[in-house]
Amino acid sequence: MIYVDSSVALSQLMFESRSPPAALWEQPLVSSRLLAYEVWNRIHAYGLAATRSGDARTLLALVNLVEMSEPALARALQPFPVRIRTLDALHLATIEFLRRQGETVELASYDNRLVTAAEAVGIPVAVL
């Protein structure tokens, strides 16, 4: 299972030069519900709601959005081995929670800081 972060989702929606491979969207995808907030926040911030809302809904429908559980929220409050931003801590804590539940999860991200933090806690990173 691939955990998709906002850098991957937004690169797909914004048609950036670095777009995730098409095969990524054919795999089982998961993310925290936080992904939806991050995607819609960027769409509105860039004034793209009129042209990208349908694409955003379609993309988000491909991802199993999981609620942030109490154990994941509690983990995000704990220290990480590297400096980490708040939303990244929530994403990594969600991945760790899913892995503790027996799921095989890899992170897909273009965010170098998030990738570094994931590797520091032993989360595998998908090659994009």
Domain ranges of the chain: 2-120
pLDDT for the residue 112: 96
CA-to-CA distance for 26 and 21, rounded, in angstroms? 10
2-120: CATH topology: Rossmann fold (3.40.50)
For residue 2, with 0-12 CB atoms within 10 Å meaning exposed, 13-18 middle and 19 or more buried, which class applies? Answer: buried
What number is the average pLDDT over the span 117-125?
A: 98
pLDDT single digits (tens) 70-112 = 999 999 999 999 999 999 999 999 999 999 999 999 999 999 9
CA-to-CA distance for 17 and 73, rounded, in angstroms? 34
User: Which residues are bridge partners to 65 per DSSP?
Assistant: 31
Indicate whether 121 pLDDT > 80: yes
Q: Would you give the distance in Å from CA 126 to the centre of its chain?
A: 12
Quickly state the pLDDT bin for 18 (edges 50, 70, 90).
Answer: confident
Greater confidence (17 vs 114) lies with 114
Q: Concatenate the DSSP letters of all residues of 34-71 into one string.
A: HHHHHHHHHHHHTT-HHHHHHHHHHHHHTEEEEPPPHH
Quickly state the pLDDT bin for 14 (edges 50, 70, 90).
Answer: confident
pLDDT for the residue 89: 98
What number is the average pLDDT over the span 36-61?
A: 94
pLDDT for the residue 31: 98
pTM beyond 0.75: the answer is yes
CA-to-CA distance for 51 and 79, rounded, in angstroms? 40
